[in-house]
Amino acid sequence: MAETQIFDPASRAIPYIDEGEGPTSLILIPERGLDGDALGVIAHYLAEEAGFRVVRIGSRPDSDGSESVAELSERADDTAAVIDHLDLAGSWIGGHGTGGTVARAVAAEHSHRVGGLLLLAVEDEQIPLPSSMPVLIIQGTDDEITPSANGERLQLTASDRASIAAIQRGDHLFPMTHPVETAVLIEEYLDWD
């Protein structure tokens, strides 16, 4: 497994894990409160089995070492800074729950840095999808925290370019409980794109 690295612009100490070397690049942001390893199995599968380059971006720590409760705009800025640092403009960006909301904010504010959007367990946030950007939405059918209806409503706002898939019997933590199923859906969609 790849090791956590720290990008430290202006003493922000943004943790990230970079693995794989493929021509397809994907940036993943975990749900708030879950560390970068939360999406580790998905990232490792996509790097090793699908040949993608996958970068997981965590939240910077508070002074006590716990995860910072950064504002959405701060996490989006941190993510954009890592994208620039690693020269990953044009990559797909995505996340789980709150991480997906951060990805949506990055795509909305920095669409020139993003090639597509991957959303796992969509939160009900009013962040519009950038025009002409492809979007893959994956929802767990048994998710009570971010129900499938959230993803369906968002998909309807961009039905010409947004696709939706479901993880059967997946609750909110489906990226951890069904990681290979989730990774295969991502691989198939991004290989097609």
pLDDT by residue, tens only, the chain of 193 residues: 689 999 998 888 999 999 999 889 999 999 987 766 789 999 999 999 999 999 999 987 765 555 545 688 899 999 999 999 999 999 999 999 999 999 999 999 989 889 999 999 999 999 999 988 999 999 999 999 999 999 999 999 999 999 999 999 999 999 999 999 999 999 999 976 4
Judge contact between 42 and 48, C-beta under 8 A.
Answer: no
Give the span between the Cα atoms of 106 and 127, in whole angstroms.
Answer: 10
| Residue type, position 142, single letter | D
> CA–CA distance from 27 to each of 63, 66, 124 (Å)?
26, 22, 21
* Dihedrals phi, psi of 140, to nearest 5 degrees: -85, 135
CA atoms within 13 A on the CB side of 125: 18
How far apart CA 67 and CA 171 sit, in angstroms, is 24
Residue 32's nearest CA partner among 129, 103, 109 is: 103
Alpha-carbon distances, residue 4 vs 35, 87, 172 (angstroms): 11, 18, 25
Which domains are present in the chain?
4-192 (3.40.50.1820)
